Structure 1
Amino acid sequence: MPYPLDNTLPVSATEPYVLVADDDAPTRCFLGDAFRQFGARVALAASGSEAQALTRDEPFDLLVLDCRMPDGGAVEILNYLRNDQHARSVYSPAVASSAELDTDAQQALLAAGFHAVLPKPCTLQDLREILALATSSHRHLPVLDDSLALNTSGTPAVVQALRGLFRQELLNLCGELDELSADTKALEARLHKLRSSCGFCGAASLSEHIVSLQQHLKLEHRGAMLPLAAFRRSVQQTIEALSVT
């Protein structure tokens, strides 16, 4: 183990399965050892081709992909994966890591579909927070939970009316999210309001994504960018589900 690890940090109660792909051996070893300390199972890859083969055959809960590797970096791996519906890790949260990333490059990676960006060198705290993406992926919550909505709102008629209003709220949000993501206070306020609506309408999965965003905002953590890609997908899935209810 090339780096000492802080054994006082808590280990996750779950056992997420993490892929670490990096062509730098010391970095690969450090990341792998850190994730294992936090309770994860870890597979290692030293090139893009190795990472692609593993993501095709293994159901990972988190992918940590270096931006520059032989046979393709993080972007190439993610593009390959998202276009192969038979890959077992096709929907796994993905994190791009690099030692050279300015703000524009980070935003471009998030727009490409990464859940977070991990600048190197990183700390154990960075990795613990990144691992939260994997532990949250163990929760397979329904897009709409009718029993939750009825318990909160009372009657099917009330739930139906509230869901109609909620759908319009989400459609409005889609057009405002880019602007909101640049204003932390405005985004926090919008998420608080939206989370309340999720409870009344039984939007269980979206509520979980909102919690994740709120946690990132409270931490003000620069090592892991806001997981907006997953949030956008959840918003769209909820809109689609509301359209057929």
Structure 2
Amino acid sequence: MNQHGPRVLVVDDSATSRTMLEKQLQRCGCGVECAENGSSALAAMALGRYDLVLLDCYMPDMNGYEVARRVRQREENSGVYTPLIGISAEADATHTQLCLDSGMDGVLGKPLPLEQFKQLLALWCDFDPASTTTVSINEPVPPDLELLFHQTSLQDLDAMTLAHLQSDRARVMRLAHRMKGAALTMRRPVMVSILEGIELRAPGQDADSRAAVSALLEALREALG
């Protein structure tokens, strides 16, 4: 049994999700480092070893599938193996299979409850965090994390609104997915529902779809307060 806390790398382009995961893992007794994109994750892994990597699947520069494939290519004939766990706002069978095919060892949907962290650490790191934490899944979110979530959500919403006006549907979808991941992490079901509506309607090129996305963006701004 590992007597020292595992070294974990968190890779996520959402500052809110990164911070929440970092706080939860630290309170489970882990040493945590963070990377905001795939390139930074590969650079960090080239410099040192990690006991576990939590890898967001949708990132703008390089998605999690490609990061996993490159990690596994590096590890061939090296004798090194790093557990890679996908984390995502999606949880369907197709997405899960894509994660496994890319070389990940498993995939979890956001938000990640405390019990899932404990199971991950026990399975992949031979570490029992039971005696290191009494965190409750229902405990209040720290004010600094609430502020970070609000600020980054407003920034993403402004960027998404501009992208919508410019008919950049791909960017609208990318930002909506990132916001949805953060909203799931922060347990904001109203925002999650609105963002799912945007993801559904954004690809449409007709006037009705554009009007629907405009209305949903306004509803999202109201939900953010």
1:116 aligns with 2:106: yes
Q: CA–CA distance in 2 between the matches of 1:105 and 1:118?
A: 11
Q: How many angstroms does 1:73 deviate by?
A: 2.0
Matches within 5 A, 1:113-152: 113-136=103-126
Identity value in percent: 35
TM-score (normalizing by structure 1): 0.47
Q: Is the 8 A contact 1:93 1:133 kept in 2?
A: no
Q: Is the 8 A contact 1:95 1:118 kept in 2?
A: yes
Q: Is the 8 A contact 2:11 2:41 kept in 1?
A: yes
Q: CA–CA distance in 2 between the matches of 1:134 and 1:15?
A: 12
Q: Provide closer, same or farther for how the CA distance between residues 19 and 89 of structure 1 changes in structure 2, counting only shifts above 3 A.
A: farther
Matches within 5 A, 1:201-220: none
Q: CA–CA distance in 2 between the matches of 1:73 and 1:90?
A: 22
**How many residue pairs end up in the alignment?**
126
Partner SS, residue 60 of structure 1: coil
Match of 1:70 among 60, 76, 84: 60
Structure 1 unaligned regions, length at least 5: 1-11, 138-245
Q: Is the 8 A contact 1:18 1:63 kept in 2?
A: yes
Matches within 5 A, 1:186-205: none
Q: Is the 8 A contact 1:62 1:133 kept in 2?
A: no
Q: Provide closer, same or farther for how the CA distance between residues 85 and 100 of structure 1 changes in structure 2, counting only shifts above 3 A.
A: closer
1:34 maps to amino acid: Q
Matched residue, 2:43? 53
Matched residue, 1:178? none
TM-score (normalizing by structure 2): 0.51
Q: Is the 8 A contact 2:9 2:33 kept in 1?
A: yes
Partner SS, residue 42 of structure 1: strand
Matched residue, 1:175? none
Q: CA–CA distance in 1 between the matches of 2:79 and 2:34?
A: 15
Matches within 5 A, 1:140-179: none
Q: Is the 8 A contact 2:66 2:102 kept in 1?
A: no
Q: CA–CA distance in 2 between the matches of 1:34 and 1:66?
A: 16
Q: Is the 8 A contact 1:62 1:93 kept in 2?
A: yes
Q: How many angstroms does 1:89 deviate by?
A: 10
Partner SS, residue 83 of structure 1: helix
Cα RMSD, aligned residues only: 2.4
Matched residue, 2:32? 42
Q: How many angstroms does 1:13 deviate by?
A: 4.2
User: Per chain length, whose mean CA-contact separation is higher, i.e. which structure has more relative contact order (CA < 8 Å, sep 6+)?
Assistant: 2
Q: How many angstroms does 1:104 deviate by?
A: 2.3
1:82 aligns with 2:72: yes
Q: What CA deviation, in whole Å up to 9, does each residue of 1:28-67 have, x standing for no partner?
A: 0111111111111111001111101011111000010000
Structure 2 unaligned regions, length at least 5: 128-225
